Amino acid sequence: MKAGVPRGLRQVVCLRLGNLSCRWASGTQPKASKSGLEEKQRKDRVKWRQLEHRGPYFAPAYEPLPEEVQFCYDGKPVKLSLAAEEVATFYGKMLDHEYTTKEVFQNNFFNDWQKEMTVEERCLIKHLDKCDFTEIHRHFIDKAAAWRALPREEKQKLKEEAEKLEQEFGYCILDGHREKIGNFKMEPPGLFCGRGDHPKMGMLKRRIRPEDVIINCSRDSKIPEPPAGHQWKEVRSDNTVTWLAAWTENVQNSIKYIMLNPSSKLKGEKDWQKYETARRLKGVVNEIRSQYRADWKSLDMKKSQRGVALYFIDKLALRTGNEKEESRTADTVGCCSLRVEHVRLHRHANGHQHVVELDFLGKDSVRYHNCVPVEKPVFWNLQLFMANKDPGDKLFDKLTTSSLNKHLQDSMDGLTAKVFRTYNASTIFQEQLQVLTRAEDSTAAKILAYNRANRAVAIYCNHQRAAPKTFEKSVRNLQTKIQAKKIQIAEAQEELRKAEVDHRIKGDGKSKRILEKKQRLLQKLEEQLGHLSTQAIDKEENKHVALGTSKLNYLDPRISIAWYINLSWGPCGRPGLFCDKDVPDQMSLMLSSMPQVLPPLSFGMVWGGTSNGLEHEGQVAAQPTGSRR
**Separation of alpha carbons 134 and 80, rounded Å:** 15
**Separation of alpha carbons 520 and 514, rounded Å:** 10
The only residue of 38, 135, 187, 375 in contact with DNA, by rule CB under 7 A: 187
| Contact between 137 and DNA per CB under 7 A | no
3-state secondary structure of 268: helix
| Contact between 418 and DNA per CB under 7 A | yes
Using the contact rule CB under 7 A, the part of the chain among 102-110, 191-199, 590-598, 604-612 near DNA is 191-199
| Contact between 297 and DNA per CB under 7 A | no
By beta-carbon proximity to DNA, the closer residue of 373 and 414 is: 414
Neighbours of 99 (CB within 10 A): 19
The only residue of 73, 243, 380, 569 in contact with DNA, by rule CB under 7 A: 243
The only residue of 53, 421, 446, 558 in contact with DNA, by rule CB under 7 A: 421
- Per CB under 7 A, contacts with DNA among 75-134 are none
- Per CB under 7 A, contacts with DNA among 497-536 are 535
Give the shortest CB-473-to-DNA separation in angstroms: 6
The only residue of 207, 302, 389, 628 in contact with DNA, by rule CB under 7 A: 628
The only residue of 238, 359, 500, 502 in contact with DNA, by rule CB under 7 A: 238
The only residue of 26, 252, 568, 610 in contact with DNA, by rule CB under 7 A: 252
Using the contact rule CB under 7 A, the part of the chain among 408-416, 431-439, 497-505, 519-527 near DNA is 408-416
Give the shortest CB-414-to-DNA separation in angstroms: 7
The only residue of 111, 231, 286, 477 in contact with DNA, by rule CB under 7 A: 477
**Separation of alpha carbons 428 and 451, rounded Å:** 13
Using the contact rule CB under 7 A, the part of the chain among 12-20, 31-39, 492-500, 611-619 near DNA is 12-20
Neighbours of 544 (CB within 10 A): 17
Give the shortest CB-601-to-DNA separation in angstroms: 23
The only residue of 218, 332, 432, 602 in contact with DNA, by rule CB under 7 A: 332
Contact 355, 346 (CB under 8 A): yes
Residue 369 backbone phi and psi in degrees, to 5 = -135, 115
> Which residue among 91, 99, 450, 554 is the active-site one?
554
Categorise residue 564: left if φ over 0, alpha if ψ from -120 to 50, beta otherwise: alpha
Query: Which stretch of DSSP H or E encloses residue 247?
Result: strand 245-248
Nearest Cα residue to 84 out of 133, 130, 139, 129 = 133
The only residue of 305, 381, 427, 464 in contact with DNA, by rule CB under 7 A: 464
Measure Cα distances from 200 to 84, 97, 253, 572, 610 in Å. Answer: 20, 17, 12, 56, 43
Q: Classify residue 217 by burial, with Cβ atoms within 10 Å: 0-12, 13-18, 19+.
A: buried
| Contact between 397 and DNA per CB under 7 A | no
Query: Which stretch of DSSP H or E encloses residue 345?
Result: strand 343-349
| Contact between 217 and DNA per CB under 7 A | no
- Per CB under 7 A, contacts with DNA among 196-215 are 196, 198, 205
**Separation of alpha carbons 626 and 462, rounded Å:** 10
Nearest Cα residue to 51 out of 172, 135, 184 = 172
| Contact between 249 and DNA per CB under 7 A | yes
Give the distance from CA 484 to its chain's centroid. 36
By beta-carbon proximity to DNA, the closer residue of 140 and 380 is: 140
- Per CB under 7 A, contacts with DNA among 545-564 are 546, 548-550, 553-554
* Percent helix / strand / coil, the chain, rounded to 5: 50, 10, 40
Number of chain positions touching DNA (CB under 7 A): 86
| Contact between 365 and DNA per CB under 7 A | yes
By beta-carbon proximity to DNA, the closer residue of 332 and 430 is: 332
Contact 133, 92 (CB under 8 A): yes
| Contact between 386 and DNA per CB under 7 A | no
| Contact between 493 and DNA per CB under 7 A | no
| Contact between 324 and DNA per CB under 7 A | yes
Strand partners for 352: 349
Give the shortest CB-248-to-DNA separation in angstroms: 7
The only residue of 33, 89, 261, 454 in contact with DNA, by rule CB under 7 A: 261
By beta-carbon proximity to DNA, the closer residue of 90 and 603 is: 90
**Separation of alpha carbons 108 and 117, rounded Å:** 15
Give residue 599's identity as a one-letter amino acid code: P
Give the shortest CB-554-to-DNA separation in angstroms: 6
Residue 554 appears among annotated catalytic residues: yes
| Contact between 307 and DNA per CB under 7 A | no
Using the contact rule CB under 7 A, the part of the chain among 292-300, 435-443, 472-480, 488-496 near DNA is 472-480
| Contact between 21 and DNA per CB under 7 A | no
Supply the DSSP string of 510-558, one letter for each residue: HHHHHHHHHHHHHHHHHHHHHHHHHHHHHHHHTTTB--HHHHHHTS-HH
Tell me the catalytic residues. Answer: 554
